[in-house]
Structure 1
Amino acid sequence: MLSTTFFQSILLLVAGASLSSASPVWPHYSIDGEHLEVLNMRASTSVNPGAVSNVECLDRNKNIVFHDQNVAELSICGGIAGSIQKCGGAPKSTTGRSGSAEFKLSAATSGATINISKGRWEQCVRAARAVCPTGSMKGTCTGGASSGNVNFTLDSPL
């Protein structure tokens, strides 16, 4: 015959196992602080969807660092950061590159030159990023050329 202490031992063992298995196992998610900063910045910035057309996400998993994108964005036309308000020199194409980001722009109309303003260019990129929040992309900025629009691609040269 089994003793009472044996049943008490089994009961304690089962109760202990039940309590330990009842505690939830939470998945561990890690979100980079830069990602949260970018999301906050994008949420507080107005977007003009008419600033861009024909946006296509090329590779959503391509790692383009946000800071590199910003520097490359202002590096087109030899640099339009600061007080420079328009692309100078009337190029038919231009490139802005920094680290993991490279913008390539070209006039959409044959024979036209790029004269995009900094404000129009920034609106175009914001609107394109609203469609493709991550990775590489291409699209067309509304206006910004001596005649017509400006085609662009954002990719990573790495």
Structure 2
Amino acid sequence: MDFTTLFLISLLATFSTALPQQIVSGNEVTGTTCLDTSIAFDFHDTNVAILGICGGIAGSIQKCSGNPTSTTGQSGTSLFTLDVTDAGSTINISKGRWERCVKAAQLTCPQGGFESTCIGGATPSGDVKFSLTEA
């Protein structure tokens, strides 16, 4: 191996260990129920739908804006529907929390649709109920 190759490998190793890891325990959600487990959602469509909530939380947007009481995110056949649990509250969920909640629900339901409740994510109080269903 030449110096350039070794340098690039070492640089890549440094960056990969510096990136934050999202650790999901399952405690981010409650009441997860698997729905139709025969649905095989497209991985890419589901990821796009995750970032489609609140009019879009992709890129530099880190939080749901606009104070909605409900929202959806859809791509292909993947449809996420979110609603606040407390009357008078609005969805104020961060991108990181939302992604962890989806991953936590998928621990219980790795295949097909589900419904669950993300603990927190609403202002001034409450949680965010959500589901993944076929559009």
Deviations 1:33-85 (A, max 9, x none): xxxxxxxxxxx963131111100001111121111110000000000011111
- Alignment partner of 1:100 is 2:77: yes
Whether the 8 Å CA contact 1:143–1:149 is kept in 2: the answer is yes
1:131 aligns with 2:131: no
Is 1:110 aligned to 2:94, yes or no?
no
Counterparts in 2 of 1:2-151, with a 5 A limit? 46-146=23-123, 147-151=125-129
Which residue identity does 2:129 align to in structure 1?
Answer: N
CA distance in 2, matches of 1:72, 1:89: 18
Residues 51 and 142, structure 1, Cα contact 8 Å, conserved in 2: yes
- Unpaired runs of at least 5, structure 2: 1-20
Q: Which has the larger radius of gyration?
A: 1
Q: Write the distance in 1 (CA, Å) between the matches of 2:31 and 2:53.
A: 21
Asked if the contact 1:87/1:114 (under 8 Å) is kept, the reply is yes
Deviating above 6 A after TM superposition, structure 1's stretches of 4 or more consecutive aligned residues are: none
Greater share of helix? 1
Superposed CA RMSD: 1.2
Which residue number corresponds to residue 133 of structure 2? 155
- Any idea what SS the aligned residue of 1:120 has? helix
Deviations, residues 65-118 of structure 1 (Å, cap 9, x unaligned) = 111110000000000011111100000000000001000000011111000000
Using the aligned pairs only, state the percent identity.
54
Task: Check conservation: 2:22, 2:100, Cα contact below 8 A.
Answer: no
Q: 1:50 is paired with a residue of what secondary structure? A: coil
Q: SS at the partner of 2:90?
A: coil
**Aligned partners of 1:56 and 1:137 also within 8 Å:** yes
Give the superposition deviation at 1:154: 0.3
5+ residue gaps, structure 1: 1-43
Measured in 2, the distance between the counterparts of 1:105 and 1:151 equals 6
